[in-house]
Amino acid sequence: MTNWADHLIILPILLPLFVGAALLLVDERHQQIKAFANLGSIVVMGGIALLLMRAVDPSTATGSAPIAVYRLGDWPAPFAIVLVADRLSVLMLVLTSILAFASAVFATARWQRVGAHFHSLFQFLLMGLNGAFLTGDLFNLFVFFELLLAASYGLVLHGSGQARVRAGLHYIAVNLTASVLFLIGVSLIYAVTGTLNMADLAVRIPQVPAQDRALLEAGAAVLGVAFLVKAGMWPLCFWLPTTYAAAAAPVAAIFAIMSKVGIYILLRLSLLFFGAGSGASALFGSDWLVAAGIATILFGLIGALASQEISRLAGYAVLVSSGTVLAVAAAAGQPAVTAAALFYLVSSTLAIAAFFMLIELLERGRDPGADMLAVTREAYGEDAPDDPDAEEVGMVIPASMAILGWCFVGCAAVIAGLPPASGFIAKFAMLSALLGGDAATGISPLSWTLLALLMLSGLTMLIAMTRAGIRTLWSPTERADPRVRLAEIVPIALLLLGCVAMTVQPQTAMSYMQGAAGSLHAPATYTDSVLAPVQTRVRTGGGS
């Protein structure tokens, strides 16, 4: 890593901070300026993420598992704050900026005008997300988590209206309680180990004496519950479909990544702290994660079948996706399986975000949507320029229903995992990794269970999506074609194109995921990279 590349790591946090703060000063009337600043910041962020991806890519870098470490204030690692960029966190950064770009473009068509400070909140949300992906210690993880949650509270209420306020009230209460659990977990872990740096924790956890182990595991479990609430794990997920269905479409689309933050942290911490080689506590809680993941998939499938509204269906699709990643990644503990789960994570997140935006267009003109708009207009007075006929951005595209239909088919194919969509490749990779596990011991019953569950989830989602599609697209209702602007259909197409790219070039994507999973399963490289200078400079004494 060269010097300039080192400083790149902190930019995904600083850039949205400054842009978001600057946008607060711009008057609400200058929406175009704000939108351009927001989009420009996201584009730069995406560029930085791609540069970082190049820096940690196994094919271009020299080392086997390059991990970029940024020490704030240049203090050695366990005594100060570090930011760590490895393949997994950079992958999440890239995914975040793609989703953010799509939903920010989508918001320029209409949603940015229905409430105050949309773009600033959006930037702060991105700051929290990027920070949570990059941070190397639990303390800052808490700070960035609260940052992204605070921004998300604002965004969930964006557009106001009774449904959003009620869903937001529940969402905030649940997440504040989860934050309390987060703090309890963090402080228990600190009490036992005396450190909050993730790499240092990974080194110290195998050395924790037996009498303190119960306390440590209790702390880890409480911390895990806090993340499981965010990831939408059954039975902690009842807030999720309601909140996501009530949120504005671009907000729900960017929230698709928020449930993945919890999964990212769980994957990282469970493999770092309780990986196969971590002594007495090895694989602590992984059975619970598998069980919770399976329960979540089942709950999500039942919910998807029971959904009368298409937006709730999308919320349950989020649950199915979260559950699948957790169950599969925690079950096998092999890099190949984790890599396939990561592939699934990326492709399903892209498709679900596109789906959330598509729903808004499909439901336009239906009665509930009209009600919601009326409430919004009433709440913000008559000066809100919310006339659907006003052509400010783009144009009304012809044959909009046909295009929306095709986008719906694309989303359904990816979410249900139909060939040739990327969802199919992801599921195929997970199945083949599960089946190819251990030649000596054969295939475990758990693998068979997951295999059946993956098939079942594909079939069930296909039924649910087809039913919703028939009801929305084919039912002969008396209504005109929805008015869709170019700025609304392009982001959906962009996200689906991302899925297509993963279908066309699965090998490129898969080899990156394998690199990411490989370094996740080798925590020694992570701890060595973060703690390297300290072990020579400070730890010359008895400690290891």
Contacts with another protein by CB under 8 A lie at 139, 142-143, 146, 149-150, 153-154, 157, 160-162, 165-166, 168-170, 172-173, 176-177, 179-180, 183-184, 186-188, 190-191, 196
User: What are the phi and psi torsion angles at 482 (to 5°)?
Assistant: -65, 145
Token pair, residue 126, equals: 């991105």
> What phi-psi label fits residue 479: left (phi over 0), alpha (psi between -120 and 50 degrees) or beta?
beta
Nearest distance in Å: CB 77, another protein: 15
Query: How does DSSP classify residue 157?
Result: T
Closest to another protein by CB, 171 or 408 = 171
Q: How far is the CB of 71 from another protein (least distance, A)?
A: 18
Nearer to another protein, 179 or 535 (CB): 179
We find the least distance from the C-beta atom of residue 273 to another protein, in angstroms, to be 18
Whose Cβ is closer to another protein: residue 251's or residue 484's? Answer: 251
Query: Residue 542 CB, nearest distance to another protein (Å)?
Result: 16
Question: Cβ closer to another protein: 169 or 214?
Answer: 169
DSSP collapsed to 3 states, 374-412: HHHHHHCCCCCCCCCCCCCCCCECCCHHHHHHHHHHHHH
Q: C-beta of 147: minimal distance to another protein in Å?
A: 9
Cβ closest to another protein, residue 44 vs residue 379 = 379
Of 97 and 123, the one with the shorter C-beta distance to another protein is: 123
| Closer by beta carbon to another protein, 244 or else 355 | 244
Minimum separation from the CB atom of position 168 to another protein (A):
6
Give whole-number Cα distances, 1 to 65, 343, 410, 513, in Å: 12, 27, 40, 21
Contact between 347 and 422 under an 8 Å Cβ cutoff? The reply is yes
For the chain, count helices (H), then strands (E).
Answer: 21, 2
3-state secondary structure labels for all residues of 237-287: CCHHHHHHHHCCHHHHHHHHHHHHHHHHHHHHHHHHHCCCCCHHHCCCCHH
CA 96 vs. chain centroid, Å, equals: 7
Report in angstroms how near the CB of residue 142 gets to another protein at its nearest. Answer: 7
3-state DSSP assignment of residue 513: helix
